[in-house]
Structure 1
Amino acid sequence: MSENWISDRMRNIDASGIRKVFDLAATMTDPINLSIGQPHFDTPEPIREAFHQAIESGRNAYSQTQGIKPLIDRIQADVDREYGQDDRKAFITSGTSGGLMLALCTLVNPGDEVIVFDPWFVMYKHLTTLAGGKVVQIDTYPDFKIDIDKVAAAITDRTKVILFNSPSNPTGAVASPEEVQGLAELAMKHDIALISDEIYRTFCYDDNFCSPVEYNPQTIVIDGFSKSHSMTGHRVGICHGPQHIVQQMLKLQQFTFVCSPHPAQWAALAACDVDMTNEVNDYRGKRDYMLDQLKDYEIHGAGGAFYLFVKAPWGTGTEFVKEAIARNLLIIPGNVFSSKDTHFRVSYAATEQTLERGAKVLKDLLHAR
């Protein structure tokens, strides 16, 4: 194959640093894996059974592009109950990542600017590149709080989208109502699209979740079942937003993903009635345990999701992670998510035994240099 066949857009997208760590894990013997960004518990049995029944009953063809009617009706009813906005319509995407791609490709023209908050979820930068846009980073170090004045100063006549994530991957930061309201009102004032990535909304440990939809009815929400119900492989996401935006996203979905996997949508319908309170409480306990074990590290955020974004006590984040991997501990260097190389990400979506082993290595590494 000629190298000339590769498009310029692909040359501007790097392979995922997280995937590199996953690949490395496959070559190691009994690694202490605190790198993975998905729940460690299996998909609950009622959801698995609904998936099985859907397959056995012949629900294996394409569904409607927008999703199966029973699931749409259920999600729409929940959205209407929460927000009461007549123009807000929901549909089913092929995972949250699919929803993000649809939103950005629907909204962003070549050369448009997309504001993201550093540290950001790894896909934001590359999906913006795919859409032809340019990422503008707002520094949130050291406490990962959003400074509305910084956002306002970054807005130009090319700013098209603000991409917001709370609770955050990788920091676990949960934005306060004041931050959310300020961001929502700023987007409205400047007629900028606001995309709210709410995939971790179930995992808020100290404060109630707050969506910018409460302050900005034009907000486009991306959500799904992957993290809340451990359905990462099922690829069932949710999007809701203004009807005219949703119509354009559906048009694009017809010619890309076609639909979310049909039997998985019936599983998602069953998931709507599965109480995940015990799992959330379990992760709250794991968060508390890891914060206690790592109290000699500098850690901010950590109010939600299942991540800690930890400042390396010596060297760069990459240098620290290399030493951790040499001791059989898999964590993710912070520069995978950031323009800076000062931190590393720990996932506490793991068993108690794995967390104990990982915490011991991290405590040993505190003074390794």
Structure 2
Amino acid sequence: MHPWIADRTTTFDASGIRKVFDLAAKLKDPINLSIGQPDFEVPESVQDAAIDAIRGGKNAYSPTQGIGPLRSALQQEIDSRYGHDDREVFVCSGTSGGLMLSMLSMINPGDEVIYLDPFFVMYPALLKMCGGVAVPIDSYPSFQLDPDAIAAAVTPKTKMILLNSPANPTGVTATAEQLEAVARLAAEKNIALISDEIYSRFHYDDAFVSPAQFNPDTIVIDGFSKSHAMTGWRVGYVHGPGEVIATMLKIQQYSFVCSPQPAQWGALRAMEVNLQGHIDDYLNKRDLICDGLADRFEFTRPGGAFYLFPKAPGDAGGEAFVHKAIERGLLIIPGKIFSARDSHFRISFAASDETIAKGVALLNQLADEA
């Protein structure tokens, strides 16, 4: 290792998802069910708002906390939903930026953070950067949030519980009862509760529920990347208790500085866009892929997001199955990237119906060969 490289960087590897993306770039016309971003374009009105901002000279730094009109619109929406006396919002550089600011603001070396396994790939890496201790809770085979398992994992060193519903990589959604139980546990034990809600608008079978409805100190992280196909625009937002938000802003000043200003004006317009047509399309895609694979694969039907996390057929494991799929031109993600186990794989159904149909046919063929 080069002598200049910091020790903390050796505690985690580069994202395995990026490695698959790099491989995808080398394949000719693959069946791509790997990418975790919407397959529709940014709404035209949002594009126009950003272009108008650029041409209107709104290209400088914004205030660290975000442009006033966007913050005001977000605050009004949040106040209307929760009515909490102490709940403030700021604009961050994507939900990834919000997660990093949350960890840096609250995690001391040795603090324990509880989350479910499987998990979003960023969680353990961010914790290690901060010196935190990951406490993953095995949620196989159903991937449901188990409040009793969370409670059993709490120790005097527990600083944070990190929830993600709808979840990446499983698409599984927690019930209102499960979320309420964990929210009340966090309040009772004075544990920070982070709710990663980036997929909140992709909720298919029932209404979305946030743990902030049951615990007013919940820190919520959300954004426009997945809902409005704005993954490259880097506009997220965080809301929670004022003192915690102020600390995150202090760190943002010395790191990300602000979210790109033209993108924030686009996000302001995005708040006016009706997404129901896209949500209906993704519900149909969910049903298309689940119905197509149900006879040969074991999985929990996702209630949200745009992911399916099936068990690999046969005994070779998830990574070996993914390698076979990639050799046949199908791009999917090994489950071990999101988990301590190597038994599953992730499919993204954020793709055309035609691509999904081709992927289903090849996956079923590979299952018959396993």
Which position in structure 2 is the counterpart of 1:359? 360
Whole-Å Cα distance in 1 between the matches of residues 32 and 195 of structure 2?
29
Matched, 1:161 2:186: no
Give 2:339's aligned residue: 338
Q: Deviations over 1:110-152 (max 9, x none)?
A: 1111111000000001011111101101011110112211111
State whether residues 144 and 301 of structure 1, in contact with CA within 8 Å, keep that contact through their aligned partners in structure 2: no
* TM-score, length of structure 2 as denominator length: 0.99
Look up the SS of the partner of 2:310 in the other structure.
strand
One-letter amino acid of the structure 1 residue matched with residue 360 of structure 2:
A
> Would you say the 8 A contact 1:335–1:343 is kept in 2?
yes
Alpha-carbon displacement from aligned partner over 1:158-177 (angstroms, at most 9, x marks no partner): 11011100000000001000
Q: Report the 3-state secondary structure (helix = DSSP H, G, I; strand = E; otherwise coil) of the residue aligned with 1:4.
A: coil
Q: Which residue of 2 aligns with 1:306?
A: 306
The CA distance in 1 between the partners of 2:294 and 2:115, in whole Å, is 29
Across the aligned residues of Structure 1 and Structure 2, the Cα RMSD in angstroms comes to: 0.7
Give 1:68-79 correspondences, 5 Å limit.
68-79=67-78
CA deviation string 1:167-192 (max 9, x = no partner): 00000001000110011011111110
Find the aligned partners of 2:239 and 2:147 in 1 and give their Cα distance: 25
Deviation at 1:323, TM superposition (A): 0.5
The residue identity in structure 1 corresponding to 2:339 is S
TM score, norm. by length of structure 1: 0.99
Paired position in structure 2 for 1:290: 289
Letter in 2 for 1:337: F
CA contact (8 A) 1:174 1:301 kept: no
Please say if residues 18 and 332 of structure 1, whose CA atoms lie closer than 8 Å, have aligned partners that are also in contact. yes
Q: CA deviation at 1:301?
A: 4.2
The answer for the alignment partner of 1:348 in structure 2 is 349
Residue aligning to 2:229: 230
**Runs of at least 4 residues off by over 2 Å:** none
Supply the distance in 2 between the matched residues of 1:301 and 1:170 (Cα, whole angstroms): 12
Question: SS in structure 1 opposite 2:368?
Answer: coil
How far the C-alpha of 1:202 sits from its partner, in A, is 0.2
Q: Does 1:48 align with 2:21?
A: no
**Counterpart amino acid of residue 313 in structure 1:** P
Matched residue, 1:200? 199
Q: Distance in 2 between matches of 1:308 and 1:352?
A: 15
Matches within 5 A, 1:1-369: 3-296=2-295, 297-314=297-314, 315-369=316-370
Number of paired residues?
368
State the Cα distance separating 1:14 from its structure 2 match.
0.5
Structure 1: gaps of 5 or more residues: none
Give 1:208 deviation, angstroms. Answer: 1.0
Tell me how far apart the structure 2 counterparts of residues 74 and 236 of structure 1 sit (CA, whole Å). Answer: 14
* Residue identity (%): 56
